[in-house]
Protein backbone atom coordinates (compact mmCIF):
# COMPACT_ATOMS: atom_id res chain seq x y z
CA UNK A 1 0.00 0.00 0.00
CA UNK A 2 2.83 2.43 0.82
CA UNK A 3 4.37 1.98 -2.61
CA UNK A 4 1.03 2.64 -4.30
CA UNK A 5 0.38 5.83 -2.30
CA UNK A 6 3.86 7.12 -3.05
CA UNK A 7 3.37 6.37 -6.76
CA UNK A 8 0.09 8.27 -6.73
CA UNK A 9 1.65 11.32 -5.08
CA UNK A 10 4.55 11.37 -7.52
CA UNK A 11 2.34 11.06 -10.56
CA UNK A 12 -0.20 13.63 -9.44
CA UNK A 13 2.63 16.06 -8.70
CA UNK A 14 3.95 15.62 -12.22
CA UNK A 15 0.49 16.25 -13.60
CA UNK A 16 -0.66 19.11 -11.42
CA UNK A 17 1.06 21.88 -13.39
CA UNK A 18 -0.71 21.01 -16.62
CA UNK A 19 -3.88 19.09 -15.69
CA UNK A 20 -4.49 18.11 -19.30
CA UNK A 21 -6.64 15.06 -18.58
CA UNK A 22 -9.39 16.43 -20.81
CA UNK A 23 -7.19 16.15 -23.85
CA UNK A 24 -4.33 18.35 -24.89
CA UNK A 25 -5.24 22.05 -24.77
CA UNK A 26 -3.56 24.30 -22.22
CA UNK A 27 -6.93 25.97 -21.66
CA UNK A 28 -8.61 22.69 -20.70
CA UNK A 29 -8.53 21.54 -17.08
CA UNK A 30 -9.64 18.36 -15.39
CA UNK A 31 -12.98 18.29 -13.62
CA UNK A 32 -12.87 18.51 -9.85
CA UNK A 33 -15.21 16.94 -7.31
CA UNK A 34 -16.70 18.42 -4.15
CA UNK A 35 -13.66 17.05 -2.34
CA UNK A 36 -11.44 19.31 -4.41
CA UNK A 37 -9.68 16.38 -6.06
CA UNK A 38 -9.53 15.98 -9.84
CA UNK A 39 -12.04 13.58 -11.35
CA UNK A 40 -11.10 10.75 -13.68
CA UNK A 41 -13.99 10.32 -16.11
CA UNK A 42 -13.98 6.74 -17.41
CA UNK A 43 -16.32 5.48 -20.14
CA UNK A 44 -17.51 1.90 -20.62
CA UNK A 45 -20.61 0.05 -21.83
CA UNK A 46 -21.67 -1.14 -18.37
CA UNK A 47 -23.09 -4.17 -20.16
CA UNK A 48 -20.15 -6.38 -21.09
CA UNK A 49 -19.58 -8.88 -18.27
CA UNK A 50 -17.13 -9.72 -16.88
CA UNK A 51 -15.36 -6.55 -18.03
CA UNK A 52 -18.20 -4.26 -16.92
CA UNK A 53 -21.89 -4.43 -16.10
CA UNK A 54 -24.80 -2.53 -14.55
CA UNK A 55 -26.30 -3.45 -11.17
CA UNK A 56 -28.92 -1.79 -8.92
CA UNK A 57 -26.77 -1.28 -5.81
CA UNK A 58 -23.25 -0.68 -4.52
CA UNK A 59 -22.57 -4.29 -3.54
CA UNK A 60 -19.00 -5.58 -3.94
CA UNK A 61 -17.75 -2.01 -4.22
CA UNK A 62 -19.68 -0.96 -7.33
CA UNK A 63 -19.47 2.67 -8.46
CA UNK A 64 -22.44 4.96 -9.29
CA UNK A 65 -23.02 5.52 -13.00
CA UNK A 66 -23.06 9.22 -13.85
CA UNK A 67 -26.59 10.54 -14.38
CA UNK A 68 -28.18 7.25 -13.28
CA UNK A 69 -29.52 5.52 -10.20
CA UNK A 70 -27.62 2.37 -11.18
CA UNK A 71 -24.09 1.23 -10.40
CA UNK A 72 -21.28 -0.23 -12.48
CA UNK A 73 -18.90 -3.02 -11.57
CA UNK A 74 -16.67 -5.61 -13.16
CA UNK A 75 -13.02 -5.94 -14.12
CA UNK A 76 -12.91 -2.54 -15.83
CA UNK A 77 -14.42 -0.81 -12.81
CA UNK A 78 -11.98 -2.56 -10.49
CA UNK A 79 -9.13 -1.35 -12.69
CA UNK A 80 -10.54 2.18 -12.87
CA UNK A 81 -10.83 2.25 -9.07
CA UNK A 82 -7.22 1.15 -8.68
CA UNK A 83 -5.97 3.77 -11.13
CA UNK A 84 -8.02 6.60 -9.62
CA UNK A 85 -6.94 5.70 -6.09
CA UNK A 86 -3.30 5.50 -7.13
CA UNK A 87 -3.51 8.95 -8.75
CA UNK A 88 -5.43 10.47 -5.79
CA UNK A 89 -8.41 11.18 -8.03
CA UNK A 90 -12.14 10.68 -7.68
CA UNK A 91 -13.73 8.26 -10.17
CA UNK A 92 -16.72 8.96 -12.40
CA UNK A 93 -18.15 6.15 -14.53
CA UNK A 94 -19.84 7.22 -17.78
CA UNK A 95 -22.08 4.68 -19.52
CA UNK A 96 -21.92 4.77 -23.33
CA UNK A 97 -22.74 2.50 -26.27
CA UNK A 98 -19.76 0.63 -27.74
CA UNK A 99 -19.62 2.78 -30.88
CA UNK A 100 -19.69 5.97 -28.80
CA UNK A 101 -16.60 5.15 -26.74
CA UNK A 102 -13.86 6.30 -29.12
CA UNK A 103 -15.69 9.52 -30.14
CA UNK A 104 -16.16 10.38 -26.46
CA UNK A 105 -12.40 10.18 -25.88
CA UNK A 106 -11.66 12.14 -29.04
CA UNK A 107 -14.03 14.94 -28.05
CA UNK A 108 -12.82 15.13 -24.45
CA UNK A 109 -16.24 14.18 -23.07
CA UNK A 110 -14.40 11.53 -21.03
CA UNK A 111 -10.75 11.19 -20.04
CA UNK A 112 -10.31 7.56 -21.00
CA UNK A 113 -12.08 4.36 -21.98
CA UNK A 114 -11.63 1.19 -19.93
CA UNK A 115 -13.92 -1.22 -21.72
CA UNK A 116 -12.11 -4.31 -22.97
CA UNK A 117 -10.83 -2.58 -26.11
CA UNK A 118 -8.23 -4.38 -28.19
CA UNK A 119 -5.22 -2.26 -29.10
CA UNK A 120 -5.70 -2.41 -32.87
CA UNK A 121 -3.91 -0.41 -35.54
CA UNK A 122 -7.24 1.10 -36.65
CA UNK A 123 -8.00 2.37 -33.16
CA UNK A 124 -4.44 3.66 -32.75
CA UNK A 125 -5.13 6.04 -35.63
CA UNK A 126 -7.89 7.63 -33.56
CA UNK A 127 -6.72 7.39 -29.93
CA UNK A 128 -3.63 6.55 -27.91
CA UNK A 129 -3.44 3.38 -25.83
CA UNK A 130 -1.74 2.45 -22.60
CA UNK A 131 0.24 -0.71 -22.13
CA UNK A 132 -2.10 -3.73 -21.87
CA UNK A 133 -4.19 -4.18 -18.74
CA UNK A 134 -5.28 -7.64 -19.84
CA UNK A 135 -4.27 -10.29 -22.40
CA UNK A 136 -7.27 -12.12 -23.85
CA UNK A 137 -7.12 -15.21 -26.07
CA UNK A 138 -9.76 -15.86 -28.74
CA UNK A 139 -12.37 -18.60 -28.25
CA UNK A 140 -15.71 -19.72 -29.66
CA UNK A 141 -18.96 -20.56 -27.91
CA UNK A 142 -21.46 -23.18 -29.09
CA UNK A 143 -24.54 -24.77 -27.57
CA UNK A 144 -24.11 -28.20 -26.01
CA UNK A 145 -26.20 -29.87 -28.74
CA UNK A 146 -24.30 -28.18 -31.57
CA UNK A 147 -22.79 -30.32 -34.35
CA UNK A 148 -19.64 -28.24 -33.81
CA UNK A 149 -19.29 -29.00 -30.10
CA UNK A 150 -16.36 -31.36 -30.67
CA UNK A 151 -14.48 -29.10 -33.06
CA UNK A 152 -10.71 -29.31 -32.60
CA UNK A 153 -9.77 -26.34 -34.78
CA UNK A 154 -11.02 -23.54 -36.99
CA UNK A 155 -11.31 -25.83 -40.02
CA UNK A 156 -13.80 -28.00 -38.12
CA UNK A 157 -16.17 -25.02 -37.99
CA UNK A 158 -16.60 -24.99 -41.77
CA UNK A 159 -20.05 -23.95 -42.97
CA UNK A 160 -21.24 -22.69 -39.59
CA UNK A 161 -23.65 -19.80 -39.25
CA UNK A 162 -21.85 -17.28 -37.08
CA UNK A 163 -21.88 -13.80 -35.60
CA UNK A 164 -20.11 -11.69 -33.00
CA UNK A 165 -20.08 -8.13 -31.66
CA UNK A 166 -19.67 -5.28 -34.12
CA UNK A 167 -16.37 -3.46 -34.50
CA UNK A 168 -14.35 -6.18 -32.78
CA UNK A 169 -11.50 -8.39 -33.92
CA UNK A 170 -13.79 -11.34 -33.28
CA UNK A 171 -16.17 -10.23 -36.03
CA UNK A 172 -13.80 -8.43 -38.40
CA UNK A 173 -10.76 -10.71 -38.22
CA UNK A 174 -11.69 -14.11 -36.79
CA UNK A 175 -15.04 -15.03 -38.33
CA UNK A 176 -13.80 -14.63 -41.94
CA UNK A 177 -11.15 -17.29 -41.20
CA UNK A 178 -13.84 -19.97 -40.82
CA UNK A 179 -14.16 -21.83 -44.17
CA UNK A 180 -17.47 -21.19 -45.97
CA UNK A 181 -18.91 -19.49 -42.89
CA UNK A 182 -22.36 -17.93 -43.12
CA UNK A 183 -21.54 -14.66 -41.36
CA UNK A 184 -24.66 -12.87 -40.14
CA UNK A 185 -24.73 -9.13 -39.35
CA UNK A 186 -22.75 -8.13 -36.29
CA UNK A 187 -24.52 -7.70 -32.96
CA UNK A 188 -24.45 -4.33 -31.23
CA UNK A 189 -23.38 -5.74 -27.85
CA UNK A 190 -21.90 -8.83 -26.24
CA UNK A 191 -25.22 -9.73 -24.53
CA UNK A 192 -27.01 -9.57 -27.90
CA UNK A 193 -24.36 -11.87 -29.35
CA UNK A 194 -24.97 -14.42 -26.61
CA UNK A 195 -28.75 -14.22 -27.04
CA UNK A 196 -28.30 -14.97 -30.76
CA UNK A 197 -26.44 -18.14 -29.85
CA UNK A 198 -28.77 -19.18 -27.05
CA UNK A 199 -31.82 -18.77 -29.29
CA UNK A 200 -30.30 -20.96 -32.00
CA UNK A 201 -30.10 -18.23 -34.62
CA UNK A 202 -26.40 -19.00 -35.04
CA UNK A 203 -24.24 -22.08 -34.58
CA UNK A 204 -21.47 -20.24 -32.78
CA UNK A 205 -20.10 -16.90 -31.72
CA UNK A 206 -16.50 -15.78 -31.46
CA UNK A 207 -15.30 -13.78 -28.45
CA UNK A 208 -12.45 -13.65 -25.94
CA UNK A 209 -11.74 -15.96 -23.02
CA UNK A 210 -13.11 -13.79 -20.16
CA UNK A 211 -16.36 -13.14 -22.01
CA UNK A 212 -16.64 -16.85 -22.75
CA UNK A 213 -16.02 -17.82 -19.13
CA UNK A 214 -18.65 -15.38 -17.96
CA UNK A 215 -21.11 -16.68 -20.56
CA UNK A 216 -20.77 -20.23 -19.24
CA UNK A 217 -22.01 -19.01 -15.86
CA UNK A 218 -25.01 -17.24 -17.37
CA UNK A 219 -25.72 -19.98 -19.95
CA UNK A 220 -24.78 -23.40 -18.51
CA UNK A 221 -25.75 -25.17 -21.75
CA UNK A 222 -23.08 -23.39 -23.74
CA UNK A 223 -19.67 -24.92 -24.39
CA UNK A 224 -16.34 -23.15 -24.90
CA UNK A 225 -14.02 -24.06 -27.80
CA UNK A 226 -10.40 -23.07 -27.21
CA UNK A 227 -8.01 -23.80 -30.07
CA UNK A 228 -5.03 -21.97 -28.58
CA UNK A 229 -1.79 -23.89 -28.83
CA UNK A 230 -3.02 -25.94 -31.79
CA UNK A 231 -1.96 -25.66 -35.42
CA UNK A 232 -5.53 -24.80 -36.39
CA UNK A 233 -6.19 -21.72 -34.24
CA UNK A 234 -7.41 -18.29 -35.30
CA UNK A 235 -4.59 -16.16 -36.68
CA UNK A 236 -4.46 -12.92 -34.74
CA UNK A 237 -1.68 -10.48 -33.97
CA UNK A 238 -0.55 -9.54 -30.49
CA UNK A 239 -2.29 -6.19 -30.84
CA UNK A 240 -5.59 -7.94 -31.40
CA UNK A 241 -5.52 -9.82 -28.10
CA UNK A 242 -3.90 -7.11 -25.99
CA UNK A 243 -6.53 -5.07 -24.13
CA UNK A 244 -5.67 -1.45 -23.38
CA UNK A 245 -7.00 1.82 -21.99
CA UNK A 246 -7.58 4.51 -24.60
CA UNK A 247 -6.99 8.23 -24.12
CA UNK A 248 -7.22 11.23 -26.41
CA UNK A 249 -4.34 11.51 -28.87
CA UNK A 250 -1.57 13.67 -27.49
CA UNK A 251 -2.71 13.43 -23.87
CA UNK A 252 0.69 12.16 -22.78
CA UNK A 253 0.26 13.31 -19.20
CA UNK A 254 -2.65 10.99 -18.55
CA UNK A 255 -1.18 8.23 -20.70
CA UNK A 256 2.08 8.26 -18.76
CA UNK A 257 0.28 8.44 -15.43
CA UNK A 258 -1.89 5.40 -16.16
CA UNK A 259 1.06 3.47 -17.55
CA UNK A 260 2.90 4.18 -14.30
CA UNK A 261 0.05 2.65 -12.33
CA UNK A 262 -0.25 -0.38 -14.63
CA UNK A 263 3.47 -1.00 -14.17
CA UNK A 264 2.78 -1.83 -10.51
CA UNK A 265 0.57 -4.77 -11.55
CA UNK A 266 1.53 -8.18 -12.91
CA UNK A 267 -0.24 -10.61 -15.23
CA UNK A 268 -1.11 -12.63 -12.12
CA UNK A 269 -2.77 -9.51 -10.68
CA UNK A 270 -4.78 -9.10 -13.89
CA UNK A 271 -5.93 -12.72 -13.81
CA UNK A 272 -6.80 -12.58 -10.11
CA UNK A 273 -8.93 -9.47 -10.62
CA UNK A 274 -10.66 -11.03 -13.63
CA UNK A 275 -11.45 -14.18 -11.63
CA UNK A 276 -12.96 -12.01 -8.90
CA UNK A 277 -15.10 -10.17 -11.46
CA UNK A 278 -16.40 -13.42 -12.98
CA UNK A 279 -17.26 -14.73 -9.51
CA UNK A 280 -19.48 -11.77 -8.61
CA UNK A 281 -21.09 -10.94 -11.95
CA UNK A 282 -24.87 -10.68 -11.41
CA UNK A 283 -25.82 -13.93 -13.16
CA UNK A 284 -23.22 -15.84 -11.11
CA UNK A 285 -25.09 -15.13 -7.86
> What are the structural domain ranges in the chain?
2-135+241-284, 138-227
Provide the percentage of residues in the chain whose pLDDT is more than 90: 79
Q: What is the pLDDT of residues 54-81, one digit of tens each?
A: 999 999 999 999 999 999 999 999 999 9
Judge whether 2-135+241-284 and 138-227 match in fold: yes
CB 247, CB 112: distance < 8 Å? yes
In this predicted structure, the answer to whether residue 238 has a pLDDT above a threshold of 60 is yes
Instruction: Please give the Cα distance from 22 to 28 (Å, whole number).
Output: 6
Mean pLDDT score, 103-132: 95
Reported CATH class of domain 2-135+241-284? alpha beta
Q: What is the pLDDT of residue 239?
A: 75
pLDDT at 36: 85
Write down the pLDDT at residue 120: 87
**Per-residue pLDDT for 141 more than 80?**
yes
d(CA 223, CA 146): 9
What's the CATH number for 138-227? 3.40.190.10
Residues 180-211 pLDDT 10s = 999 999 999 999 999 999 999 999 999 999 99
Amino acid sequence: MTRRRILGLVLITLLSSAMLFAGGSSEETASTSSSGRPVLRVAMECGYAPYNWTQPDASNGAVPISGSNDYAYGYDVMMAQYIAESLDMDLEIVKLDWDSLVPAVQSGTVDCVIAGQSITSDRLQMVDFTTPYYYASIICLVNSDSPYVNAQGVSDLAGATVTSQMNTVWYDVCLPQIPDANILPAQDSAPAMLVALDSGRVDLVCTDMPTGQAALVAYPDMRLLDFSGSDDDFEVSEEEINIGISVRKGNTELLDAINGVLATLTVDDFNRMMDEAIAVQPLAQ
